[in-house]
């Protein structure tokens, strides 16, 4: 009987201990389910927020924030604090197109944060009104061709003296002389203003090649030696030449050289002249003639610069009076020649020896 009571007691103890173990196991299972639910709500160990913390974001400035169309967007900023109240660095994603009306979202975040913050920026069409324009710099503005144009800008303000952002339209061709118009305007303004930019010719440097004045023989072809033209930037520019030279007509002519986009020009004098010929006298010079004897001119040979023999005319042959003792000049020339040659003719008395030769047989 004693043995049976011990066995029953042991059985009761084991059953009670078993109930306690079951309750303990059930409690642990319930805690595990609760922990799993918490992790799942926070993103869980298998989500992208693993190891991250909930941060405190402070978005500075207005949110939402409104700006006018065309107005520059200036970011007011934000701060981030972690769970230990330490300020940490953050990043901004998204952009604001101030040229297009609409709502834009900027997102602020940090690598160590599981949460983010946003700001809505609304770009709205401003109510247009009459604006005040104050041009910086000259109007009209004058610049030398070839130089770079830098716009001095403009200050724009509305009726409340608030600064308005504006744009400039139009262009300036720095390489072409002329007047150009630039227009300043803003979508916030019903009016505009303009600036005139005058691109004016530059004072250029000319270097004539060849002679000035240039001498050319009548009938020859004109070969223009040309010119070198440089602008104020020491860059060589194209030039044109004007003027007519008629080489068939003797005279003075002018050629004018004009550099592209140059305020000044330069000229060359061209003289069409007779050529210089070569003369060869036949007979002596001076040539002696005994008084009262007849004078026969020996003549001369004339050649032009190419070696062609030209006809020579002897001016002054009729002025030789062989009946009078004296000295006479006979000139040889050709109309195609700029030069001439002279012969001296001396009419002298007969000598005693010559007289004896004439009288004596």
What confidence tens digit (pLDDT) does each residue in 1-53 have? Answer: 333 434 333 343 344 444 443 443 333 333 332 233 322 333 333 345 688 99
Q: What is the pLDDT of residue 361?
A: 58
What structural domains does the chain harbor? Answer: 56-124 (2.60.40.10), 132-200 (2.60.40.10), 205-273 (2.60.40.10), 278-359 (2.60.40.10)
Lowest average pLDDT, out of 123-132, 149-158, 270-279, goes to 123-132
Query: Best-predicted range by mean pLDDT among 38-42, 245-249, 314-318, 352-356?
Result: 245-249
Closest C-alpha among 137, 152, 149, 147 to residue 180: 149
Closest C-alpha among 262, 332, 272, 260 to residue 302: 332
Q: What six digits make up the tokens of 256?
A: 């004018």
Res. 259: pLDDT tops 80: yes
Q: What is the pLDDT of residue 168?
A: 96
Q: What is the pLDDT of residue 360?
A: 60
Res. 296: pLDDT tops 90: yes
Closest C-alpha among 361, 354, 212 to residue 293: 354
Q: How far apart are CA 201 and CA 203, in angstroms?
A: 7
> Is the Cβ–Cβ distance between 277 and 337 less than 8 Å?
yes
Res. 323: pLDDT tops 50: yes
Q: What is the mean pLDDT of residues 151-177?
A: 92
130-155 pLDDT, tens digit per residue, is: 999 999 999 999 999 888 999 999 99
pLDDT level of residue 328 (50, 70, 90 thresholds): very high
> Is the Cβ–Cβ distance between 146 and 233 less than 8 Å?
yes
This prediction has a pTM of 0.50
201 burial type by CB count under 10 A (0-12 exposed, 13-18 middle, 19+ buried) = middle
């Amino acid at each position: 009987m004693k043995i049976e009571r011990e066995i029953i007691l042991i059985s009761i103890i084991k059953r009670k201990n078993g109930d306690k173990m079951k309750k303990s196991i059930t409690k642990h299972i319930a805690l595990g389910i609760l922990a799993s639910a918490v992790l799942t709500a926070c993103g869980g160990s298998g989500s992208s927020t693993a190891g991250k913390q909930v941060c405190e974001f402070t978005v500075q400035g207005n949110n939402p924030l409104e700006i006018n169309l065309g107005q520059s967007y200036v970011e007011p900023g934000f701060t981030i604090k972690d769970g230990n109240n330490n300020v940490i660095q953050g990043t901004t994603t998204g952009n604001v197109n101030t040229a297009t009306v609409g709502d834009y979202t900027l997102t602020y975040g940090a690598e160590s944060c599981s949460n983010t913050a946003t700001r809505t920026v609304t770009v709205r069409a401003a109510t247009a009104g009459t604006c005040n324009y104050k041009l910086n710099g000259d109007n009209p503005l004058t610049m030398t061709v070839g130089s770079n144009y830098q716009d001095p800008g403009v200050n724009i303000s509305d009726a409340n003296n608030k600064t308005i952002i504006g744009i400039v339209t139009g262009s300036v061709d720095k390489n072409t002389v002329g007047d150009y118009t630039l227009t300043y305007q803003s979508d916030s303004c019903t009016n505009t203003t303009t600036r005139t930019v005058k691109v004016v010719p530059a004072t250029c440097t000319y270097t004539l090649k060849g002679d000035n004045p240039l001498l050319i023989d009548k009938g020859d072809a004109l070969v223009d030696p040309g010119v070198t033209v440089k602008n104020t930037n020491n860059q060589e520019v194209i030039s044109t030449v004007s003027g007519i030279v008629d080489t068939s007509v003797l005279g003075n002519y002018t050629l004018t050289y004009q550099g592209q986009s140059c305020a000044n020009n330069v000229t060359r004098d061209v003289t069409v002249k007779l050529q210089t010929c070569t003369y060869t006298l036949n007979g002596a010079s001076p040539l002696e003639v005994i008084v009262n004897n007849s004078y026969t001119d020996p003549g001369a040979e004339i050649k032009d610069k190419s070696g062609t023999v030209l006809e020579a005319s002897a001016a002054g042959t009729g002025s030789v009076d062989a009946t009078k003792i004296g000295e006479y000049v006979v000139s040889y020339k050709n109309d195609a020649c700029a030069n001439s040659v002279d012969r001296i003719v001396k009419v002298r008395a007969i000598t005693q020896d010559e007289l004896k030769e004439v009288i004596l047989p």
